Amino acid sequence: MLVEYLIPIIIIMFAVFVIIGWKIASVGSNLEKVIDVIVEHFIDERRFTIAKLKEYSDLPEPVIEKQLKKLVNKGILTTSKGGWYRLKDPLVFLTEKDYIRALRITRDDNILYGAYQHPYFLHIYFLGIYGLFLTIVAFTLAVYFNLLPSVRAYLISVLPGGENTLPVFLVFLIAFGIVFVDALDNIIKGWAKERYSVIIGELSGISYDQSLSDELSGRISRGHITGVDIQISPLQKLFNYFGDYPIGDIVVKVKGHKKPIVFKNMPYPREMFFVIRTLMLGSLGWRKRHARTLMLWRAKGLVPSIKSE
């Protein structure tokens, strides 16, 4: 009986997946079209409206507006009064408040990269999250295999069912550890983010916070950057394997300074490295070439298609 229904079920599932894939591709296609227009015509503009964008697109205005809302929600665009949209560079990961602050301090400079460095984040994260969870797992296994006989005997004596309920208690302990570690993970991430801003402007160079209450007092002008390097430690590689985004240290050599300035645990370090390199060379061609790909990654995790000429 089961074999008789197996083929129809497979056909129905295949049809459902085809429809879902078609719907996703359709949405992605509209989003790509809007991003293409922005990259081609408005990447160096300060502001634009839906009406101006419509001049270069065959999509209906409601569809364009829907795609623009997605880009706003992802932090790629900002809105202002009068229906104006403003494009953030794809490598700007600042909150709206810090983005406005950066524009004010850099005198409305074209911000090419903006993110937060976390000087102590990685050590606290791994020590607090993985260290604690591995301790719970190691303790549970040690009790289960009687490697801690005194602890095992004490647990058996205090548990209502004695030795029969010990495995259940150990499973509960691991489950509690998962919940506790997840809560601690959210606390550490909330404490670590949005603390030390690092801004790279087209004209202003590199500006960065040196303390929690700072106002981007750290400055490295374009002409004083003599070299830049990227360093990714084994611990950072491990985090990059499991984390949501890559991190690394950016080392900037400054004219007149014996020691380089190191920005710790920066998001998308390779992209930041190339932005600084292009700033040193006075050419923003790399930024324009890769703007479309970066916007697609940030907008919906889409795999960029090859654009037809």
CA–CA distance, 130 with 133 (Å, rounded to integer): 5
Residue with tokens 């700072």: 214
- For 128-137, what is each residue's pLDDT tens digit? 677 788 888 8
Mean pLDDT of all residues in 222-247? 86
Q: Which two tokens stand for residue 243?
A: 């984390």
Residue 306 confidence (pLDDT) above 50: no
**Average pLDDT of the chain, as a whole number:** 79
**Residue 192 pLDDT class (50, 70, 90 cuts):** low
Task: Report pLDDT for 13.
Answer: 64
Within 10 A of 247 (CB to CB), how many other CB atoms are there? 24
DSSP secondary structure string, 149-178? HHHHHHHHHHSTTGGGGHHHHHHHHHHHHH
CA–CA distance, 199 with 112 (Å, rounded to integer): 8
pTM for the predicted model, two decimal places: 0.61
Report whether 114 contacts 197 (CB < 8 A): yes
Mean pLDDT of all residues in 184-210? 79
95-104, 117-126, 261-270, 276-285: which range is least confident on average? 117-126
Task: Report pLDDT for 273.
Answer: 93
Indicate the length of the chain as a whole number.
309
Q: Which domains does the chain have, with CATH numbers?
A: 1-87 (1.10.10.10), 90-118+193-287 (2.30.29), 123-183 (no CATH)
Helix/strand/coil for 76: coil
Task: Report pLDDT for 26.
Answer: 45
Mean pLDDT of all residues in 197-213? 88
Residue 2 confidence (pLDDT) above 50: no
Residue 291 confidence (pLDDT) above 90: no
Residue 92 DSSP label = B
Task: Report pLDDT for 308.
Answer: 37
Residue 22 confidence (pLDDT) above 70: no
Report whether 87 contacts 38 (CB < 8 A): yes
Residue 24 confidence (pLDDT) above 70: no
- For 239-289, what is each residue's pLDDT tens digit? 788 777 788 999 999 998 999 999 988 988 998 998 898 888 776 666 666
Mean pLDDT of all residues in 187-204? 76
The closest of 111, 137, 105, 88 to 272, measured between CA atoms, is 111
| Residues in CB range of 226: below 8 A, 6 or more apart | 253, 254, 255
DSSP secondary structure string, 251-273? EEEETT-SSPEEEEEEESHHHHH
Angle at 121 between CA 199 and CA 130, to 5 degrees: 145
Residue 80 confidence (pLDDT) above 90: no
Residue 201 confidence (pLDDT) above 80: yes
Q: Which two tokens stand for residue 194?
A: 């949005």
Angle at 69 between CA 27 and CA 22, to 5 degrees: 5
**Residue 206 pLDDT class (50, 70, 90 cuts):** very high
Task: Report pLDDT for 7.
Answer: 47
Residue 121 confidence (pLDDT) above 70: no
Q: Which of 26-30, 113-117, 250-254 is most confident?
A: 250-254
Helix/strand/coil for 90: coil
Classify burial at 198, counting beta carbons within 10 Å of its beta carbon; exposed 0-12, middle 13-18, buried 19 or more.
Answer: buried
